[in-house]
């Protein structure tokens, strides 16, 4: 029998409602089977819908299941931040004073408060060069010439993203993919490019020193890169702002000395959003991915 359950819809990677990426959060998922969760995720038609459950692993504050309209994910970034925000707002009490620990299929994910923001510790990400034939098919589906792609890697931190570095943010924003072809390929595709600035002529150079120079001469919240994420394979043609992709591309490109240890990424511009993803690698090499959250809907849902 259906029952009323506490519910929230949180806009993530923004402080202004309507300009980030919303996640639907069912704050009590007990008693719901996989089919019921998937049905509700299709109904919300958001990029992700989550269900909070009691933890089953030692050290976790709560467990989380994450669904897209097309299936379940082992981990995702903006649902992690939005669900944690909703759990805390609903009175959740973490076991530790300095962090919240989320259990998901990928494992335990640490979340910390950074002033008014939350940030998650990026899970380990593998990095594999794509086969040339696959890259050629993806470039065709993305309507890209091969010379527009500077680097490409298959990044896996739970979700798998075939990620392409392009030569500029303008090139990223100009991309018009064939979503039917992308869905048929079965790969989620992320793209990024460096933001241009008349004040920072070196920012377009692909070097860590140039990026750091540019970052130091911009406003602290000015974005360094523009990101887009296409996930037609999971029923989401373009995701507004994507924590998992930003986490894995940060580990890749900071490790390659292509990005500095701290920067801001912009995502969602092509969809009329203004998502801002705050990335930092700490002294231990851990990448943290943070952003603002704002509650847009609070109440109960019949499930």
Share of the chain above pLDDT 70, in %: 92
Interval 42-68: pLDDT, tens: 999 999 999 999 999 999 999 999 999
Sole residue written with tokens 């540019």: 214
CA distances for 75 relative to 15, 35, 50, 64, 176, angstroms = 23, 19, 11, 9, 27
Collect all residues with Cβ–Cβ distance below 8 Å to 68 and sequence separation of at least 6: 41, 47, 48, 49, 231, 234, 235, 236
Domains of the chain: 4-122+291-302 (3.10.310.10), 126-285 (3.10.310.10)
The model's pTM is: 0.91
- Reading phi first (left if > 0) and then psi (alpha if -120 to 50, else beta), residue 143 is in left
With bands split at pLDDT 50, 70 and 90, how would you rate the model's confidence at 218?
low
Distance CA 39, CA 41 (A): 5
Quote the tokens at residue 241: 């702002």
Tell me the C-alpha to C-alpha distance, in Å, between residue 159 and each of 42, 65, 197, 224: 19, 14, 32, 24
Catalytic residues: 48
Read off the pLDDT of residues 180-210 as tens digits, 9 standing for 90 and up.
999 999 999 999 999 976 344 334 344 445 5
């Amino acid at each position: 029998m259906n029952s009323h359950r506490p519910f929230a819809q949180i806009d993530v990677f923004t402080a202004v409602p309507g300009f980030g990426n919303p996640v639907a959060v069912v704050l009590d998922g007990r008693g719901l089977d996989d089919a019921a969760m998937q049905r509700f995720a299709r109904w919300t038609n958001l990029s992700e819908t989550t269900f909070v459950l009691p933890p089953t692993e030692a050290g976790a504050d709560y467990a989380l299941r994450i669904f897209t309209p097309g299936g379940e994910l082992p981990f995702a970034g903006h649902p992690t931040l939005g669900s944690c925000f909703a759990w805390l707002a609903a009175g959740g009490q973490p076991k530790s004073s300095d962090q919240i620990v989320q259990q998901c299929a990928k494992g335990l994910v640490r979340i910390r408060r950074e002033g008014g923001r939350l940030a998650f510790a990026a899970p380990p990400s593998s990095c594999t060069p794509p086969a040339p034939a696959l890259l050629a098919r993806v470039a065709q589906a993305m309507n890209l010439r091969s010379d527009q792609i500077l680097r490409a890697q298959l990044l896996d931190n739970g979700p798998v993203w075939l990620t392409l570095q392009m030569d500029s943010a303008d090139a990223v924003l100009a991309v018009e993919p064939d979503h039917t072809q992308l869905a048929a390929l079965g790969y989620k595709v992320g793209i990024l490019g460096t933001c241009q600035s008349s004040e920072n002529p070196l920012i377009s150079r692909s070097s860590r020193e140039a990026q750091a120079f540019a970052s130091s001469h911009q406003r602290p919240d000015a974005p360094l890169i523009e990101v887009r994420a296409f996930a037609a394979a999971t029923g989401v043609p373009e995701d507004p702002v994507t924590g998992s992709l930003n986490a894995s591309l940060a580990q890749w490109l900071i490790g390659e000395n292509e990005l500095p240890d701290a920067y801001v990424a912009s995502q969602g511009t092509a969809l009329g959003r203004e998502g801002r993803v705050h990335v930092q690698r700490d002294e231990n090499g851990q990448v943290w991915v943070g952003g603002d959250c704002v509650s847009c809907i609070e109440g109960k849902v019949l499930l």
